[in-house]
Amino acid sequence: MKKIHESNIESSRVMGSIGHVDIMDAVSEPITAGVRIVSAHSEVPSRPHFHSEAQLIYVISGTAKITNGVETLIMEPGDFVLFEPQEEHYVITGARDIKVFEVKFTK
């Protein structure tokens, strides 16, 4: 067993079309799982954005729009969203940051 606090994880920053997202991964192989903090007034990541893994996002705090270019959802605390492999997607935040837990995995 191993306890990891997010404050002890080195973060990396990914710039978006507007703004940025700070990434803190607790694990990275064979799945990637960690916390993401998307800054206020952001559109992240830069488009087009997709990956070979499926992606599950859970909203911890804040609200945002998340879209695959066809459908746009309003995400609030307690919401999950699942993206299939190769499905383009990005997040649009308003006046506040949004904090999410994200898992990327191979189906």
pLDDT digits (tens, 9 = 90+) for 76-98: 999 999 999 999 999 999 999 99
Which residues are CB-contacts of 39 (< 8 A; sequence separation ≥ 6)?
19, 20, 21, 22, 93, 97
Q: Across-strand partners of 58?
A: 80, 101
Establish if 1 belongs to a structural domain: no
Token representation of residue 34: 């960690």
Number of separate domains in the chain: 1
- pLDDT at position 73: 97
In contact, 102 and 34? CB cutoff 8 Å = yes
Q: CA of 56: how far to CAs of 1, 35, 103, in Å?
A: 24, 12, 5
Q: Which domain holds residue 93?
A: 9-105
Which residue bears the tokens 């999950």?
80
Q: Does 48 score more than 90 pLDDT?
A: no
Establish if 74 belongs to a structural domain: yes
Q: What is the CATH number for 13?
A: 2.60.120.10
